[in-house]
């Protein structure tokens, strides 16, 4: 998609969507309209400073069919980030996950179908379930779907809706399934920012269970560069896995954070495990690398973590308003 285009970014006040919006403004000539409901996870402050001639914010839900229809009509491309995104929340109350992730995606698909707009669906590798810790394999585009939590099941369902709208109605869509992102503007409910902000506040980090679960970390800018590449050069109807070979277990990540913040590496607590906790995620991104020529830029996880720690130290006004309510929610489940 060279030159200038009008992009509708759903969920653009969230972690990855706000970074994507900044990335697009910085690296392309496109204009961006963000549609975001500003749930507990959305924050307009994450979009501060963007140029008014290329950026517009609309508060509203992807479940609002009339609003979605009019915004889709005004734009050439829709990049769909909006979702309820946190596994722990989905275990406490699945209802908003069904509404936003399934019904919201359905409303967008109906609108892009009606107006014949290009659609890119942002999804997760959690749709594939998990791998054993000693399994040498990784997820690929051919891995069967086998989601574990209400969150991942709702994302799996949304992916299948996209595939059906491509096949049955000729919608011009692509899908990407990415592994765990880290970087600036991530909500403090998520693993890495929770531990960094705990240490800043003098609270011990919290490790679920034994902490041997493995996640495949990727910097949010590498994810967003891949999304842009898929939009520009991906094949309609195809799925691309996004990952940067960043496997680490949770215990190691907590130890890295503690060491980087000048604390003893055992200064953390084991807390209740997550029910149904996926063991290991690992992405084989060969297709993205070979067919679309994407390569990650952030190859040193420890350095990426250091920069993220610095960001949370320097941006306490951004995260402090969410911290207390987040920890109160975790206290109820002993986490």
Give the one entry of ligand DAU, ligand NAD, none that residue 82 binds, where binding means its C-beta sits below a cut-off of 5 to 8 angstroms depending on kind: ligand NAD
**CB count, 10 Å around CB of 295?**
12
3-class DSSP state of 254: helix
Binding letters toward ligand NAD, positions 95-124, x by CB under 6 A: -----x---x-----------------x-x
- Shortest distance in whole angstroms from residue 213 CB to ligand DAU: 4
* CA–CA–CA angle 78, 227, 17 (5° rounding): 65
Site for ligand NAD in 162-181 (CB under 6 A): 178, 180-181
Q: According to the binding rule CB under 6 A, does residue 138 interact with ligand DAU?
A: no
Segment lying near ligand NAD (by CB under 6 A), choices 83-91, 258-266, 312-320, 321-329: 83-91
Question: N- to C-terminal Cα distance for the chain?
Answer: 45
In order of 190, 214, 294, 335, the CA distances from 270 in angstroms are: 16, 16, 38, 9
Give the one entry of ligand NAD, ligand DAU, none that residue 326 binds, where binding means its C-beta sits below a cut-off of 5 to 8 angstroms depending on kind: none
DSSP for 12-78, written as a single string = TTSHHHHHHHHHHHHHSS-EEEEEE---TT--GGGGTT--TTTEEEEE--TT-HHHHHHHHHH-SEE
- Shortest distance in whole angstroms from residue 331 CB to ligand DAU: 12
Segment lying near ligand DAU (by CB under 6 A), choices 132-140, 208-216, 223-231, 310-318: 208-216
Q: How far apart are CA 247 and CA 270, in angstroms?
A: 21
Q: According to the binding rule CB under 6 A, does residue 308 interact with ligand NAD?
A: no
Q: How far apart are CA 97 and CA 319, in angstroms?
A: 23
Query: DSSP 3-state helix, strand, coil percentages of the chain (rounded to 5)?
Result: 45, 15, 40
Segment lying near ligand DAU (by CB under 6 A), choices 26-34, 92-100, 209-217, 225-233: 209-217
Site for ligand DAU in 277-306 (CB under 6 A): 281
Which positions touch ligand DAU (CB under 6 A)? Answer: 85-87, 124-126, 179-180, 190-191, 194, 206-208, 211, 213, 215, 250, 274, 281
Which positions touch ligand NAD (CB under 6 A)? Answer: 10-11, 13-17, 35-39, 41-42, 61-63, 81-85, 100, 104, 122, 124, 155, 178, 180-181, 187
């Amino acid at each position: 998609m060279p030159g200038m285009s009008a992009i509708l970014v759903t969920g653009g006040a969230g972690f990855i969507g706000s970074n994507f919006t900044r990335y697009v403004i910085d690296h392309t000539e496109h204009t961006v309209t963000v549609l975001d409901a500003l749930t507990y996870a959305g924050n307009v402050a994450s979009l501060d400073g963007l140029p008014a001639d290329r950026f517009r914010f609309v508060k509203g839900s992807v479940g609002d069919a009339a609003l979605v229809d009019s915004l889709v009509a005004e734009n050439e491309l829709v990049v769909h980030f909006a979702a309820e995104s946190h596994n722990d929340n989905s275990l406490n109350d699945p209802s908003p996950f069904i509404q936003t992730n399934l019904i919201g995606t359905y409303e967008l698909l109906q609108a892009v179908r009606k107006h014949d707009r290009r659609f890119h669906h942002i999804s997760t590798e959690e749709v594939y379930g998990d791998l054993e810790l000693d399994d040498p394999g990784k997820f690929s585009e051919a891995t069967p779907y086998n989601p574990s939590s209400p969150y991942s099941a709702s994302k799996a369902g949304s992916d299948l809706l996209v595939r059906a709208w491509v096949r049955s109605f000729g919608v011009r869509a692509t899908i990407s399934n990415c592994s765990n992102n880290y970087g600036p503007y991530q909500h403090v409910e998520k693993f890495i920012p929770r531990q960094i902000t705990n240490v800043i506040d003098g609270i011990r980090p919290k490790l679920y269970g034994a902490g041997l679960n493995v996640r495949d970390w990727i910097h949010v800018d590498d994810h967003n560069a891949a999304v842009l590449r898929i939009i520009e050069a991906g094949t309609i109807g195809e799925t691309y896995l996004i990952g940067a070979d960043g496997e680490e277990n949770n215990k190691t990540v907590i130890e890295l954070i503690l060491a980087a913040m000048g604390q003893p590496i055992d200064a953390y607590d084991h807390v209740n495990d997550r029910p149904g906790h996926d063991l290991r995620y690992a992405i084989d991104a060969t297709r993205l690398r070979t067919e679309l020529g994407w390569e990650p830029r952030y190859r040193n996880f420890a350095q990426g973590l250091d920069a993220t720690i610095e960001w949370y130290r320097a941006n306490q006004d951004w995260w402090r308003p969410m911290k207390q309510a987040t920890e109160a929610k975790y206290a109820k489940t002993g986490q």
